[in-house]
Amino acid sequence: MLFEPKEVAMSDKNKSHDKSEMKHKLEKAIDAFLNEGGEVTRLRYADQKTINKASRNFYHKDKEDSNERSKEIAEKERQKEESLIFSKVERYSI
């Protein structure tokens, strides 16, 4: 087929317009974040172990008001975090 149907060509134009609009919105959001004192750190992908640990921590923090075991686990995690030399933000920015 030598020519694309008109509908396909128009939808491609809309996709490129949507991408440029999204990129513009993202850049504005980043600029606002930086102007308000935000700091950019290097991001990294989370492995499955990190995802599972974060999920468990969130669960216990969410349930610590109603569950004594979760309260103990969340407190233990806070104490562990305080005893480390570098903060979580500093550890993840390296």
Query: Is residue 78 predicted with pLDDT exceeding 80?
Result: yes
Distance CA 91, CA 52 (A): 18
Among 5-19, 22-36, 64-78, the minimum mean pLDDT is found in: 5-19
Distance CA 7, CA 1 (A): 15
Rounded to the nearest integer, the mean pLDDT of the chain is: 80
